[in-house]
Amino acid sequence: MIRQSLSIVALFATSLTTSCSRKTASAPLPQPTAFGSAIVESSGGKQTSQAGMALPQPLVVQVNDQQGTAVPGAMIEFSAAAGVAFDPAYGLTDSSGQVATNVTLGGIAGRYQLTAFTIDKSRKKVALTIEEIALGYQQTLGRQLNDQYCERCHNPESTVERVSNFDNLEIKPHPFSEGDTLNKMNDADLTAIIGHGGPALNKSALMPAWGNTLSKSDIEALISYTRAISDPPGHDAGPVYAKN
């Protein structure tokens, strides 16, 4: 009899815990206190990370009114294809009209289209699409090689770890994301110029030959990385994942 009573108590406790969990999971969204007419990206778009990993910087979006003034208290929600996680997935805009979220991309390499949306006074949805890039293993290796050998000349921005040499070069090298130029070059052209230097394609001799430093697989990884981050994307930039 005592065992039966204990079983009933345990069953009741389990039922109560499950009920509480369900209530927490289905908690209502916070109610907006204001409404805007536009939603814009403040920062965090077009980032890259390894597939399945968090983006290095938060994604920050902002709600504005018709005059372009930031709107505090507006609701923003985020969505994307399956496998993408947002922390938080929604929120009310702060005093600067913004909401920031940490994004973890899906586990498959490609371009992920994220959607942030708010509602206007008429309850009509106003949406913004942001693209982020998940790198596969080969592309991640290419990014590491780029950081080690290429960024100093191909990126005009200096960082704490790296001082850019871009401004010291008479002929400016193309950034690796410059799709308008690099998409016109096939893989064989890129292999030649990386391995044998600029003169291999009648380009500037300031582009050195890396064939004695980088292996064939290293050069392939670099090319795969440049294709992945191409802006605008080329035909081999990888699949695009968007919410159905």
Confidence of residue 238 (pLDDT cuts 50, 70, 90): confident
- pLDDT for the residue 158: 85
- pLDDT for the residue 28: 81
Confidence of residue 17 (pLDDT cuts 50, 70, 90): very low
- pLDDT for the residue 26: 60
Which residues, including other chains, have CB under 8 Å from residue 65's CB and lie 6 or more apart?
A: 36, 37, 38, 71
Confidence of residue 184 (pLDDT cuts 50, 70, 90): very high
Q: Measured between alpha carbons, how far is residue 74 from residues 77, 103, 124, 144, 158 in Å?
A: 10, 20, 13, 40, 37
Concatenate the DSSP letters of all residues of 33-69 into one string. S---SEEEEEE--S-EEETTSB-SS-EEEEEE-TTS-
- pLDDT for the residue 162: 83
- Mean pLDDT over 157-172 rounds to 86
Domains in the chain (CATH in brackets) are 38-135 (2.60.40.10), 137-241 (1.10.760.10)
Is the confidence at residue 19, as pLDDT, over 80?
no
- pLDDT for the residue 22: 38
222 within 8 A of 146, measured Cβ to Cβ: yes
Please tell me the distance from the alpha carbon of residue 125 to that of residue 138, in angstroms, as a whole number.
39
- pLDDT for the residue 7: 42
Q: Measured between alpha carbons, how far is residue 26 from residues 19, 22, 85, 90, 178 in Å?
A: 11, 6, 18, 14, 45
| pLDDT tens profile 56-110 | 999 999 999 999 999 999 999 999 999 999 999 999 999 999 999 999 999 999 9
| Mean pLDDT lowest among 82-86, 114-118, 159-163, 193-197 | 159-163
- pLDDT for the residue 160: 77
- Mean pLDDT over 166-180 rounds to 90
| Mean pLDDT lowest among 10-19, 20-29, 178-187 | 10-19
211 within 8 A of 131, measured Cβ to Cβ: no
- Structure-token pair, residue 48: 């890259």
Q: Is this structure's pTM higher than 0.75?
A: yes
Confidence of residue 11 (pLDDT cuts 50, 70, 90): very low
Please give the distance of CA 49 from its chain centroid, rounded to a whole number. 7
- Mean pLDDT over 141-150 rounds to 95
